[in-house]
Structure 1
Amino acid sequence: MARQGFVPYLLGTDFHRLAFVEFGNPAAEAVVCVHGLTRTGRDFDPLAEALADRFHVICPDLPGRGKSDWLGDAALYQPPSYVIALAHLLAFLNKPVAWVGTSLGGICGMMIAAAKHTPVTRLVLNDVGAQIPAAALARIRDYMTKTPERFAAMAELEAHLRMVHAPFGKLSDAQWAHLARYSARRTEGGGFALHYDPKIAEPLRAAIPLDADLSPIWRQVSVPVLAIRGAESDLLTEPVFERMASDGAATLTVSECGHAPALMDQPTIDAIRAFLEARG
C-alpha cells in the first residue's frame, strides 16, 4: 500500500514541497525510484510493490510533476534544481539508499552518486547513460511541444499516452490505465490535462539540441551500476551501452521496447531485485 508524503525544499528564495509515495517498512534498506521527464513516481508502483517485502521504497514526483509543487520560473526546470529537491529528500530519509532512475531520474542519480560522501550505494540506470544523442533530445522536445493542452475524456488521454510512450513496451490494458490515472489532472470547465506543469518543456524549446556528454559525471560514479537498455532505444545507444559495460556496469537489455522500459514486467523486476540484493 502506497503512503503519501511531502518534504519541503528551498530553491532560490522560495520553499516548495516535493511529493513522494513510499512502500514497505521505513526501518528497512531504502530504494529511491525517480521517474523520467514527463512521468511521476507512480510509474514505479509495480516495482515498488514487488520490493516492499524487503525494502523501504520511496518514489518522488520531481518538481512540477504529479503532486509536487510547480515552480514559478520555468528556467528552474533543469537537473541541478531537481538534485537540490532530491537532496532534501535524502536528508529527510537520513540513511543509505539504492537508486533506480529512468532517463531524467537516472541523470539525477548519476549526479548524486558521483558526489563525494554520497548516500547512494547502488545505481540502476534505466535507458540513460554517459552520452545522449541530439536526435533523441530533439524527438522528446518535439513530442512535448505537440502535446494537447486538454483531453475531453480519460480515454483520449490514455490513447495519447499509448502513442507517445509506445516505446515503453508491451503493457497490458490495466498497466496503461494505471499510467493514465496518475498522468491526469482535472481542468477547469471539465476534461483532463497531463499532470505536469507545461512550462517544464520551455528549457528544451530554448536549447539547440546537441549531443549531451555526461562522461565526466559517469566517470565519478564508483558504486555498483546496473544499466538497463530498451533493445530499440534511441537515447541509450548500443555503443554507449557497451562502453558502460566495459567500465564495469552490469547490463540488461529489455526486448521489444525503446526509450524507456516501463519496469513493469516480472523478468525486469526480478533482475532489479537481484541486483539490489547483491553484496560485494
Structure 2
Amino acid sequence: MATMTEHTLRGLSALGFHRLAYTQWLPDGQPGATRTIVCCHGLTRNGRDFDVLAADLADSLGARVICPDVVGRGKSGTLANPDLYGYPQYLADMAALIARLDVESLDWVGTSMGGLIGMILAAQGDSPITRLVVNDVGPLVPKAALERIATYVGTSPTFHSVEEVQRYLSLVYAPFGDLTDAQWRHLADHGYWMRADGTLGLAYDTGIARAFQTQPITDVDLWPVWGMIRCPVLAIRGLQSDLLTAEIAQAMTERGPKATLYEVADAGHAPALMDPAQRAAVRDFLR
C-alpha cells in the first residue's frame, strides 16, 4: 500500500514568504520512485481531494505523487493582500515546488484551476511536463460557468460540526458525481478550518474570490496557450459540465495537442476522480 507524508516549502509573493503544503505518496513507502506525478486541485479545494487517486497511481505506476495545497487553501498559508491571488502567483509557487522536487520531468493532473495551471506550465519553453491530464477544464472558460462559481466562491458559511460541512459540500459539489458517504466525509474531514471561536469554516481564504469581485466576468480565452502545448493531453469531461462544454471538448481534440477525450456520464464540474473507472482512465493514459 502506498504511504503518505506531509511536507512544506516556502513560496514568495510581493509581500514576503508564505507556506506551501503538499502531500507525497510513495509506493510501499519506498523513496526510489522513478517518476513524479503532480496532482493540482480546483479553485476552492485542496490536495487531499486526490488521496484516492494518488494512492492508486503510486501503487500501480510506482510513482511519487505530489498533491499541493495552492496558497490560500488547505494547510498552505494565506496572502496578506488578496489582490495577489491569481495565476502569476500560483505559477511561481508551482515552479518553486517543481524545483523542490528536483526532477527533470513530471506528469501533471489538474482539476479545473489545477488544470489551467498545468496548461500554462506545459505551454512554456523547456517545460518539464511530459503528460498532462486536464479534468473538466479547457482553453475557453465560459462566462456563464464563471458567474455560477462566483455565487459561492468567497462566501464564508459557518458550521458547528463536520457533519454540517459534509452536508454542505454534498450539495454545492453535487456535480462531482455519485460519491459515497465515506467519500463525502473524506472531503469534509479535509475541507474545513477551525476558527478561533470553535466554529468551522471552509478551508480556503475568502480572499481568493477577489478577482470575481473586482473585475468584469467574461469568457477566458486560452486557445493561444493551448496551441503551444507539445505534450500528450488527456481531457476529462463531466457530461453535465457547464465549464467544459461538449463543443469546447471536441475542439480540444482537433486543435493544438489534440487531446484524447474521456467523458464521465454521471458528473458535471468536475469529476472527483475517485471512481475506479475514472482512476483507470488517468492511470492508463499515464502508464
TM-score by length of 2: 0.94
Are the counterparts in 1 of residues 40 and 68 from structure 2 also a CA contact under 8 Å?
A: yes
User: Whole-Å Cα distance in 2 between the matches of residues 13 and 193 of structure 1?
Assistant: 25
1:27 aligns with 2:32: yes
Identity %: 46
- 2:118 pairs with one of 106, 109, 112: 109
Q: What is residue 204 of structure 2 aligned with on the other side?
A: 196
Query: How do 1:199-210 residues align onto structure 2 when only pairs under 5 Å count?
Result: 199-210=207-218
Deviation digits for residues 81-139 of structure 1 (CA, Å, limit 9, x no counterpart): 10100000001112111000000000000110001111100000000001011010010
Distance 1:107 1:185 in 2: 26
1:258 matched to 2:263: no
1:272 paired residue among 257, 263, 282: 282
Shift of 1:145: 4.3
Q: Could you tell me how far apart the structure 2 residues matched to 1:141 and 1:203 are?
A: 10
Structure 1: state its 5+ residue gaps: none
Which whole-Å CA distance do the structure 1 matches of 2:112 and 2:250 have between them? 17
Find runs of 4+ consecutive structure 1 residues off by over 6 angstroms.
none
Structure 1 SS opposite 2:261: strand
The size of the alignment, in residue pairs, is: 276
Gaps (5+ residues) in structure 2? none
CA deviations on 1:251-270 (whole Å, 9 max, x unpaired) are 10011110000000001101
Partner of 1:64: 72
Q: Give the alignment's TM-score, normalised by structure 1.
A: 0.96
* Local SS of the residue matching 1:52: helix
- Distance change (3 Å), C-alpha of 1:5 and 1:50: same
The DSSP-based 3-state class of the residue aligned with 2:271 is coil
Distance in 1 of aligned mates of 2:210 and 2:83 = 7
CA distance in 1, matches of 2:37, 2:136: 18
Alignment-mate amino acid for residue 266 of structure 1? P
Q: Which residue of 2 aligns with 1:18?
A: 20
Moved more, 191-200 or 227-236: 191-200
Match of 2:100 in 1: 92
Q: 1:47 to 1:158 in 2, by over 3 A?
A: same
Equivalent residues in 2 for 1:159-178 (5 A)? 159-178=167-186
